[in-house]
Structure 1
Amino acid sequence: MKKLLIGALAITFANCTHAQPNPTAEKFAKYITPEDAKKHLSIIASDAFEGRETGKHGADLAANYIAEQFKALGLQAPVKGSYFLDIPLISTAGKVDGFTANGKPLAYGKDFGATVTSSGDVKTSEIVFLGYATAADLASADIKGKVVLYIADDKEPVAGESMRQVRTRRQKTIRSIQEKMPALILGYSVNAYTRGTNGAERLTINKGKTAPAQPTVFSINTLAADAILSASGKTLAQLKEVPQVATLKADLNANYQLITKDVKAVDVCGYLPGSDPKLKDEVLVFSAHYDHIGMLPEGTPGDRINNGADDDGSGTTGILEIARAFTQAKKQGHGPRRSILFLGNVGEEKGLLGSEYYSDHPVFPLANTITDLNIDMIGRRDPSHEGKPDYCYLIGSDKLSTTLHKISENANNTYTKLAVDYKYNDPKDPEQIYYRSDHYNFARYGVPIVFYFDGVHADYHKVSDEVDKIDFPLLAKRAQLVFYTGWDLANRDTRPVVDVKNDMPSMNE
């Protein structure tokens, strides 16, 4: 497959006609420099910003820094005179205070993990075993108010299913059980997810509606399952061999609580109005998330701060550099014909929250948004490109628009001449990177996108993702590719046509 893909790319480049360089675009691309990029990133990814975790002090510092830079560049504040779009988030923290099975205490993070969706103090002398929780099992089972145990593993693997499809199917099973309102759900798996921190917070968008409390789910491993079944006279192996709904003796006690609170967070918006009266209502978006994953717990030896220099300090820096180039162009009489929004998203690491809220509540109508050029990690090399020519992974350029894909390739072939790698653009790629950054929330509304990415390296989501490991000339070159693509989009006579049926699998597949 890899050889076929490389061959296809070689044919693509061989057949691509190079346009003549635009001297004006080249002039302003030179405002994107390694030196200026290093100045910004050394601040954004400094220890003072504490890893920029959404809802924490460090993220506020980063948002204020970006807004200050937007103001200094002369960008307008488009949110009722503010650079900040409030993102209403709610924090939920589920904490298990105790879980014992037949007198044996079970340990969070070792024997079980939990998705706490409600508070409960559950005591029972019996559980209902649901086997593999098929539709027939659930139809015949009376489980309201009871503790249930089911097997989350597949009895027989489903041929051809992707990991995404497996996860989606298993989530549907959990929801089907929850709909019958048991007191507590125990999901057994050989590889049960028991890691994580008891009481860890989860952020979601506060949509103003209080959903009915769902039964909590404990993920249990084999040790926990044996402890739970020890009083029943049945073994896990026996139950798996002849899976059927059965009521079993088990003395269980589980105490857990759900704690909620509102969280302050903002997207940062800087606006450059277009110069063409006929086109200025159309908007091109450059986006990057400025949040990262914060700090390791207190007491952790050594460095605790996840500085996120590459993820995504590099993308945020790229946005600032591109904004500098466009605002200089405007000051010198070459402002873009279309308007441009520079968007610093919050909450990407928590589930693309800032871009989700923006796309649902856009400052500028999505119908007028011609493209989102999203940058998430452009400062490093991944292992497969060490010692090779300068490169960049591009994702999504052809998923909605043939026009955008041609513009993207033309910009690279004319100016930056990076080795473009489309590995992650393959719908069958197991990493499914297409869904994992902020461009996705534009694409789901039919807005064409390009995602710029440097790949996964050894320091990804680690405290070792530091500024001194950034390749600033390569960062600047990749940012220039984004700039040149944006220059064409902002100044061409027609917007990219949406003419492609997206070949990416549905989120529910």
Structure 2
Amino acid sequence: MKKISLWALSSAFVLNACAQQNPTALKYGALITADDARKHLSILASDAFEGRETGTPGAEKAANYIAAEFKKLGLQAPVNGSYFLNVPLTQNALKTTTFTINGKTAEYGKDYYLSGTYSDNNINVNEFVFVGYGTDAEVSATDLSGKILLWINEDKPEASTTPNTSYRLTKKRTKTIEYLRSKNPAAILAANPGIAAALSRFGKSVTSPRLTIKGAAAKPVNTNAPLFNITIALADDLVKPSGKTYDELKTASAAATTPASSIKSAVTISYTTAKSDVKAVDVLGYMPGTDLKDEVLVISAHYDHIGLNPDATAKDKVNNGADDDGSGTTGILEIARAFAQAKNDGHGPRRSILFLGNVGEEKGLLGSEYYSEHPVFPLANTITDLNIDMIGRVGDEYIGKPDSANYVYAIGSAMLSKELHEIGEQANNTYTKLNLDYKYDDPDDPNRFYYRSDHYNFAKHGVPIIFYFNGVHADYHQPGDEVSKINFPLLAKRAQLVFYTGWELANRDKRPLVDGKASE
């Protein structure tokens, strides 16, 4: 007989403890319906809200709508009598005035993009350094000070492993960038095969002006070398004077440790940043608990999206963001309504609940970052964040599968608390019986979903989280993300899962035990 660990025994206890349906929870969970969800989402994702881009009138309309709904439900306004937490932001409109390689002009948003906030600069050189994968063996013997570097933005192949070739930075590559920047180069050109497709599909998202938190919470202007993400075509233009292609240089670097080498190529880069203040708010609705009211459960979703379509010739001018994340915002409104009715009927939660509508998620998780740094309720008393980001559609990987209308990705539930994971599992087994898919429940997942929504700003402070997500689809960050494509029964069922999980968390005797470490 196999030994049974103490954790397995405790997990079994949690499972058995919640095995019977709670008729009270069942009664109020049933209030979350497809019809009510449709009413909210048809407003939030309408053309009148112009895609809810942070800092625009459309986002302000959405914030006002959410606050009005919170008020109707009788939720308290916890920010000095207001439902709004001001999130002070600065818009950094980066403009590359010049980017030429051997006299050929590169186009911003087509050939390259630059992330971050940097001081104005002009760079004019006659050679660059190809640093391969940027390992110590490749660059330690080379003076990189003041040089432009061409870097392979992929994990270097290793025996018996499949390298991560996504353009999204892994922890390993982030450390490589830090190492390269310690050599004081003028700029780093990060080449990856996925950049061209990313710019073609998500151009507005990656090239629009950057927003940053201002004031005491602001990050200092980056004085390090800027990191330009470039296409392989642009990399080929850069290395052409060497007589080789970029892929040939990459293949040689992958096969052996090749020292960094200088290549003659005339490169001119000039960039400047214009700054302006932006108005933005998180929307908070608070339900005080009873005997455990000092402890707070957060249920969150971001209400912002990416705004208007910049293509002047496009027939559809609005990125409505019905799924991303109108569905999650609708979810928290429905969940709040269920809890509010329960409270009105004398079945209010033991713990307090904060319904949090975050702004600026699409701009870098800014609203949740600001809240986590300026919490209205102490994070030490925050027991869990249940975060909902896209629950209204069927993701690409489930199209055509038998359970395409009965699944949700659950991300991060066990990373900080095994007990929270079991609570989420049991809530599902008892009430909703969705297929909980943990495919992306991994900090090292190439898609990095764990780091890409608002829950992460709670998790990095040690607050356990569960992130509910349906996966990306063809209309992700596209004008086609419309209300007409939402599966409302599925949205409602996923929201019910969050409600039942929240009901258990808000009413159980003890908060989930934190037994994991926050990932960076």
Of 166, 171, 175 in structure 2, the residue corresponding to residue 168 of structure 1 is 171
Of 349, 354, 377 in structure 1, the residue corresponding to residue 362 of structure 2 is 349
Displacement, 1:60? Answer: 1.2
Indicate conservation of the 8 Å contact 1:77/1:269, yes or no. yes
Change (3 A) 1:225 1:348: closer
Moved more, 339-348 or 385-394: 385-394
In 2, Cα distance between the equivalents of 1:318 and 1:89?
27
The question of 1:488 aligning with 2:501 is answered no
In 2, Cα distance between the equivalents of 1:468 and 1:355?
29
Q: Deviations over 1:457-481 (max 9, x none)?
A: 3322221111122222222222222
State the partner residue of 1:6: none
Q: Deviations over 1:61-80 (max 9, x none)?
A: 11111011111111111111
Counterparts in 2 of 1:40-51, with a 5 A limit?
40-51=40-51
Of 345, 366, 377 in structure 2, the residue corresponding to residue 332 of structure 1 is 345
State the partner residue of 2:121: 120
Indicate conservation of the 8 Å contact 1:187/1:218, yes or no. yes
Q: Deviations over 1:235-280 (max 9, x none)?
A: 878977695455554443332222233322211100011122xx11
Report the secondary structure of 1:342's partner residue: strand
Change (3 A) 1:444 1:231: closer
Counterparts in 2 of 1:78-117, with a 5 A limit?
78-115=78-115, 117=118
Change (3 A) 1:121 1:417: closer
Report the secondary structure of 1:97's partner residue: strand
Change (3 A) 1:63 1:102: same
Displacement, 1:497? Answer: 2.0
State the partner residue of 2:477: 461
Displacement, 1:297? Answer: 0.3
Identical aligned residues as a percent:
58
State the partner residue of 2:3: none
State the partner residue of 1:266: 281
Counterparts in 2 of 1:210-359, with a 5 A limit?
210-211=220-221, 213-221=223-231, 224-225=234-235, 227-228=237-238, 243-244=258-259, 249-276=264-291, 279-359=292-372
Displacement, 1:396? Answer: 2.7
In 2, Cα distance between the equivalents of 1:236 and 1:20?
61
Displacement, 1:386? Answer: 4.8
Indicate conservation of the 8 Å contact 1:411/1:484, yes or no. yes
Counterparts in 2 of 1:432-443, with a 5 A limit?
432-443=448-459
In 1, Cα distance between the equivalents of 2:468 and 2:210?
27
Moved more, 297-306 or 125-134: 125-134
State the partner residue of 2:5: none
Change (3 A) 1:177 1:42: same
State the partner residue of 2:380: 367
In 1, Cα distance between the equivalents of 2:233 and 2:490?
50
Residue type of the partner of 2:440? Answer: Y
Residue type of the partner of 2:81? Answer: G
Report the secondary structure of 1:363's partner residue: coil
Indicate conservation of the 8 Å contact 1:127/1:149, yes or no. yes
Displacement, 1:47? Answer: 0.6
In 1, Cα distance between the equivalents of 2:337 and 2:434?
22
In 1, Cα distance between the equivalents of 2:247 and 2:287?
65
Displacement, 1:299? Answer: 0.4
Displacement, 1:147? Answer: 4.1
Report the secondary structure of 1:283's partner residue: strand
Indicate conservation of the 8 Å contact 1:373/1:482, yes or no. yes
TM-score (ref. length: structure 2): 0.83
State the partner residue of 2:6: none
State the partner residue of 2:464: 448
Displacement, 1:449? Answer: 1.9
Counterparts in 2 of 1:181-200, with a 5 A limit?
181-187=184-190, 195=199, 196=203, 200=208
Change (3 A) 1:21 1:262: same
Change (3 A) 1:324 1:128: closer
Displacement, 1:421? Answer: 2.9
Q: Deviations over 1:97-128 (max 9, x none)?
A: 22333333344445544447332233334445
In 2, Cα distance between the equivalents of 1:296 and 1:373?
31
Q: Deviations over 1:298-319 (max 9, x none)?
A: 4032112111111211111111
Displacement, 1:133? Answer: 4.3
Indicate conservation of the 8 Å contact 2:109/2:207, yes or no. no
Change (3 A) 1:429 1:110: closer
Change (3 A) 1:312 1:386: farther
Moved more, 183-192 or 29-38: 183-192
Change (3 A) 1:251 1:27: closer
State the partner residue of 2:8: none
Displacement, 1:85? Answer: 1.2
Indicate conservation of the 8 Å contact 2:19/2:430, yes or no. yes
Moved more, 422-431 or 260-269: 422-431
Residue type of the partner of 1:175? Answer: E
In 2, Cα distance between the equivalents of 1:48 and 1:437?
25
Displacement, 1:44? Answer: 0.6
Change (3 A) 1:260 1:477: same
Change (3 A) 1:346 1:135: same
In 1, Cα distance between the equivalents of 2:453 and 2:191?
31
Larger Rg: 1
Residue type of the partner of 2:174? Answer: Q
Displacement, 1:453? Answer: 2.1
Counterparts in 2 of 1:139-154, with a 5 A limit?
139-149=140-150
Change (3 A) 1:97 1:286: same
Displacement, 1:408? Answer: 2.3
Report the secondary structure of 2:410's partner residue: strand
Report the secondary structure of 1:81's partner residue: coil
Q: Deviations over 1:427-449 (max 9, x none)?
A: 66543433322222222222222
Report the secondary structure of 1:281's partner residue: strand
Moved more, 113-122 or 294-303: 113-122
Moved more, 111-120 or 488-497: 111-120
Residue type of the partner of 2:24? Answer: T
Of 182, 189, 213 in structure 2, the residue corresponding to residue 205 of structure 1 is 213
Moved more, 92-101 or 108-117: 108-117
Indicate conservation of the 8 Å contact 1:100/1:254, yes or no. yes
Change (3 A) 1:253 1:398: closer
Indicate conservation of the 8 Å contact 1:25/1:487, yes or no. yes
Q: Calculate the aligned-residue CA RMSD, in Å.
A: 3.4
Displacement, 1:48? Answer: 0.8
